[in-house]
Amino acid sequence: MKGRGTGVSIAPDDAVAKPDLLKGKLDKAQALGFDTVELPVHGMRVIVNGRLDEKRLDGYARLLSRYPFRYAMHAPFSINLFDSEEGTEHFTLLLQSIRVCGAIGADTLVYHPGRYVAEEQLPYKDAWPRLTGEDKARLLERERDFMRRAGDAAGKVDVRIGMENMRPYLDCGDYCYSTDPALLAGQLERIAHPQIGITLDVGHLHLAMKSLPYGLEEALSSIRPYIMHMHLHDNFGKPTFSLEKNQYDLLPVGRGDMHMPIGLGDVPMDRIARLLGGEIDGYLIHELRPMYEDEWPKLAERLREATFGAAVRRPPIELAGNAGGA
């Protein structure tokens, strides 16, 4: 699989919020041979209550300019352009995220499409908005308007915005339209802006496939014309409820959005690569949870070997002694 560049993402925690720690991560990524890094806008703490901290942002711009990386940014997870009360404020956050990209020279911004039910509302069913089909249509139109305006702003600083296919949850299957690739493609078709495309998250797609009325080939066919960025990570295709977050609890049963390195789960990466023609006009980002950072060297080795999927799957562990056990 080829793209404009290949690299890793860094999670929104102290590793980004503290420049000295971020420098260590960047040094490591550079030493391993990655050429691209994706950073979270919210992890940098450069936007507070909607306002941009120009001084802090300037410090990040100076730090990041010391490295030869291409940069992508992830907009704050909290942005929800479907929020009926604060939608305009959320749009302001998206515009501020574009300004962050321009300041540090990032040319790609990942955005989570609108959610009918926000993630923080999922555990509280009484708080879910009661939306009719007409209500949802109005929200989709509002997002289209916001995204066209965001696309205009992004074009002025040479940034492309990738709308991400989201992971499904068992407690609310339709909380977000973009868990369905065909619906996401339909939204992109109607936005019709050259700066707006799709961030294909292969792990999220794998989790969604069992609930979709069509197969992988059709899913990828619908979104392929819009793909401009990819998140690569693995899981076993088992969705969870929204409150199931502890990865150490989920790992033994192989459930949820695990964000493991490709090859540790059963995402059909080889087939995905073939169906996409082996190449995209965008970055390939290994979006792993921090618990898998020790796998970065293996990812870098596979990058040099240009291998994916089944070619790197690990053999099963053979247990010594009586197979029946005690």
Residue pair 200/223 in contact by the 8 Å Cβ criterion: yes
pLDDT given for residue 312 in this prediction: 39
Percent of the chain predicted with pLDDT > 90: 90
pLDDT given for residue 40 in this prediction: 99
Per-residue pLDDT for 276 more than 70? yes
Distances (CA, A) of 171 to 59, 66, 244, 257: 42, 45, 11, 15
Of 5-14, 173-182, 301-310, minimum mean pLDDT range: 301-310
- Cα distance between residue 56 and residue 35, in whole Å: 25
In the beta sheet, which residues pair with residue 162?
110, 197
Q: What does the pLDDT average to over 26-52?
A: 98
What are the tens digits of pLDDT across the range 150-181?
999 999 999 999 999 999 999 999 999 999 99
What are the tens digits of pLDDT across the range 259-274?
999 999 999 999 999 9
> Which is nearest to 190 in space by CA: 154, 141, 151?
141
Of 48-52, 89-93, 193-197, 312-316, minimum mean pLDDT range: 312-316
> Which is nearest to 283 in space by CA: 206, 195, 198, 225?
198
Residue pair 127/71 in contact by the 8 Å Cβ criterion: no
Look up the CATH architecture of domain 5-312. Answer: Alpha-Beta Barrel (3.20)
- Cα distance between residue 208 and residue 173, in whole Å: 10
Is the pTM higher than 0.85? The answer reads yes
What are the tens digits of pLDDT across the range 187-242?
999 999 999 999 999 999 999 999 999 999 999 999 999 999 999 999 999 999 99
pLDDT band at residue 1, thresholds of 50, 70 and 90? confident
pLDDT band at residue 85, thresholds of 50, 70 and 90? confident
Percent of the chain predicted with pLDDT > 70: 93
In Å, the largest CA–CA distance within the chain is: 66
Q: What does the pLDDT average to over 316-324?
A: 35
User: φ, ψ for residue 164 (rounded to 5)?
Assistant: -90, 140
3-state secondary structure of 200: strand
Per DSSP bridges, beta strands 5-9 and 283-286 are parallel
- Cα distance between residue 226 and residue 281, in whole Å: 10
Per-residue pLDDT for 314 more than 50? no
> Which is nearest to 198 in space by CA: 113, 117, 267?
113
Question: Between 314 and 15, whose confidence is greater?
Answer: 15
Average of per-residue pLDDT values in the chain: 93
- Cα distance between residue 72 and residue 231, in whole Å: 11
Task: For the beta carbon of residue 266, count every other beta carbon within 10 angstroms.
Answer: 15
Extents of the domains making up the chain: 5-312
pLDDT given for residue 256 in this prediction: 98
pLDDT band at residue 306, thresholds of 50, 70 and 90? low
Q: What does the pLDDT average to over 37-53?
A: 98
Q: DSSP state, 2?
A: B
> Which is nearest to 33 in space by CA: 306, 308, 233, 312?
306
